[in-house]
Amino acid sequence: MYDNIGGKIKSLAKTLSILGAIATAILAIVLLCLDDKLLPFGVILLFFGPLFSWISSWLLYGFGELVENACTIEREAYSKEKNHKVSMSVNSERINEIQKLRAQGLLTEEEYQQAIAKER
């Protein structure tokens, strides 16, 4: 229900824009048919009603875009953090192995220093 909320907000903006344009066009036609005194208002509403509906939907659509981008940034940051932790864990294990080899006397001090420098 709350997955992909940014996309749903953007869809809502599009839907409201279309419904608003249709509603203002219908209202304009009704005004045109009712009375000659309402003719100027009907013409203005016929042209500017759908335009206003379309332009006003930009704000809601922009909000949906912001939410969607924020979710993407959060997902990528979490992924990078997780990969960094895994990488640090692997490096830590390799350093432990190098230290064990040194403690067993299988690595000289020079070899040990070179191996540790490569891991950091």
Joined tokens for residue 37: 């005194």
* φ and ψ at residue 108, rounded to 5 degrees: -80, 170
For residue range 64-84, list pLDDT tens digits in order: 999 999 999 988 887 777 666
Max intra-chain CA distance, the chain: 104
For residue range 41-69, list pLDDT tens digits in order: 989 999 999 999 999 999 999 999 999 99
Q: Which residue has the higher pLDDT, 86 or 32?
A: 32
Percent of the chain with pLDDT over 70: 91
Q: How many CB atoms lie within 10 A of CB 101?
A: 14
* Measured distance CA(34)–CA(27) in Å, rounded: 11
Is the CB of residue 21 less than 8 Å from the CB of residue 50?
yes
Q: What is the mean pLDDT of the chain?
A: 86
